[in-house]
Amino acid sequence: MKKLTVREITFAALVGALYVTLCYFGNIFGLTFGIFQCRFAEALTVLPFLCPTAAWGLFAGCILSNIISPYGLPDLIFGSLATLAAGLLTARCKSKWLAPLPPVICNGLIVGALLAWSETGFSAAFPGVFAFNVLSVGGAELLVCYILGIPLLELLARSRVMPQTVTPPRH
């Protein structure tokens, strides 16, 4: 197992803290939770492309954010695990243009299922509601990750903010 540097751990902690801050701020405007959620914090889910340890900061930040979720314990568990899975998959991406796809797919499917289940249970309406939620959550995630996330990757790849052990940016 690779030994983490203090800089990597600190960066992951900062990412987690920023995630929580952005989610709580977005919640003031009703953007963080629900079918048409637009979490600006999700732009940070592309950061494991540059620094894989950021995935763990995102996971911790998502747990702390989902404490106030109106969907309760299922969102705290499954929503946070969706963010962790997205972060770990993003860290394995070979192109910055593919880096936003794991968060879009993981959150669209997992959060979409969670929302459909909370609305319908596993009734006959579940498949239709699930499809709608996948499109609404995944679509918002796609917008945030590409419109905000890609420029963030560009900016950070050119800065000296990233931990030094990070591999050079891939295109």
What is the C-alpha separation between 100 and 104, in angstroms, rounded?
Answer: 6
| pTM listed for this prediction | 0.88
- Per-residue pLDDT for 144 more than 80? yes
> Among residues 69, 83, 82, 62, which one has the least CA distance to residue 118?
69
Q: What is the pLDDT of residue 10?
A: 92
Residue 35 and residue 137 in contact, taking contact as beta carbons nearer than 8 Å: yes
Q: What is the mean pLDDT of residues 130-149?
A: 95
Would you place residue 17 in the very low, low, confident or very high pLDDT band (cuts 50, 70, 90)?
A: very high
Task: Show the tokens assigned to 146.
Answer: 């590409």
Q: Which residues make Cβ contacts (< 8 Å) with residue 171, sequence separation at least 6?
A: 95, 96
Burial of 1 (0-12, 13-18, 19+ CB in 10 A): exposed
Q: What is the pLDDT of residue 142?
A: 96
Q: Which residues make Cβ contacts (< 8 Å) with residue 87, sequence separation at least 6?
A: 45, 48, 54, 55, 56, 58, 59, 102, 103
What mean pLDDT, rounded, does the chain reach? 90
- Per-residue pLDDT for 36 more than 80? no
Which of the pair, 153 or 35, is modelled with greater confidence?
A: 153
Q: What is the mean pLDDT of residues 114-119?
A: 93
